[in-house]
Structure 1
Amino acid sequence: MIFKRKLPIPKEIKEQYPLTAELSQVKARRDKEIADVFTGKSDRMVLIIGPCSADREDAVLEYCERLAKLQEAVSDKLVLIPRVYTNKPRTTGDGYKGLLHQPDPRKTSDMLEGVIAIRRLHTNVLANTGLPTADEMLYPDNYRYLSDLLSYVAVG
C-alpha cells in the first residue's frame, strides 16, 4: 500500500474541528436518554433510522431536520438516532466507498479530507437538529476521530 501522507492523530483533528461546550451538553443529554432505554430506566424504544449511506451533506441535513421534528412528536415513546453511515462496507475494488474515502465523488480518494468531511457532517447534524448520530466503523481507529460526536456505533 502506498501512502500519500500521514493522517493527523484524532486529537489534532478534534482541536481543529472542535465540538462546542453547548453541543457537548446536548449530546450528553441525549446519550443519557439512550442509556436509560438500554438499561431499562426508560420505557421508550431506541430507533436508529436513516438511509444506507450518507454522502451528500445537504440531503443528510434535510433528512435529519425532518427526523428532529418527528422526534418531538414521538418523544414520549421513542428515542430517534439518525443513521449517518459514512462508509460503504460492501463496496470493493474501484467503486465508491463512501464519504470517508472520497468526500468528493468527482475526485480521487482523500482520506484526510474524508475524515474532516465526516466530522463536519456529524457536527452539523448535531448543531442543526440536536440529534447525535449513529455511524458504522469499518476501521476501529476511525472511531477516535468521532468519539465525541457519535451516540451509537455499529461495527462493520
Structure 2
Amino acid sequence: MTHAQHSAHPVSTHDTTRIDDTRIKAVRPLITPALLQEWLPAPDAAQSLVETSRAAISRVLHGQDDRLVVVVGPCSIHDHSQAMEYAHALKAQADALGNELILVMRVYFEKPRTTVGWKGYINDPHLDGSFAIN
C-alpha cells in the first residue's frame, strides 16, 4: 500500500469529538461572584476592616505614611482553625507594632505552582478529593 492510498481519506485534526471530555460525567456552571455576595454578604466589621486597611496601605504607597507594609503568611490556607489561630497571633503583633508597621496577613487558597498533589483549598474545599467547589 502506497502512502497515497493510506492518506486517501485523511482524518481531520479538527474533529476532536471522540477524545474531548471523555472523562467528564457532568458540567455545572459556577455561581457568579454577585450571587455569592448576595448569599454570603461580608459582615459590616469585615467590610470596615478592608476599607480602613486599603486606605492605610494607600497612604504608605503614596508617601503619606512612613510605616512599612509587611505581608506575611503561609504558602496557602488548608486548615480554617490554624488560619484563625495565626490571624489572632498576627493581630496581636499588628497592635503592638502598629506605629512602625502595617501587617497584612497573606491568605491564598490555591497552590498554583503545585503540579502533583493537593492543588489548594479553592479547588478542594472539603479536603476529600471531591473538588466540590459550588
TM-score normalized with structure 1 length? 0.67
Structure-to-structure mapping, 1:38-117, within 5 angstroms: 38-93=61-116, 95-112=117-134
The offset of 1:46, in angstroms, is 0.4
Say which SS state the counterpart of residue 42 (structure 2) adopts: coil
Identity of aligned residues (%): 31
Cα distance in structure 2, aligned partners of 1:104 and 1:23: 24
5+ residue gaps in structure 1? 113-156
TM-score normalized with structure 2 length? 0.77
Q: Which has the higher contact order (CA 8 A, sep 6+)?
A: 1
5+ residue gaps in structure 2? 1-20
Tell me the equivalent position of 2:30.
7
The offset of 1:100, in angstroms, is 0.3
Structure number with the higher helix fraction is 1
Cα distance in structure 1, aligned partners of 2:37 and 2:93: 30
Q: What is the aligned-residue RMSD (CA, Å)?
A: 1.4
Structure number with the higher strand fraction is 1
Matched, 1:25 2:45: no
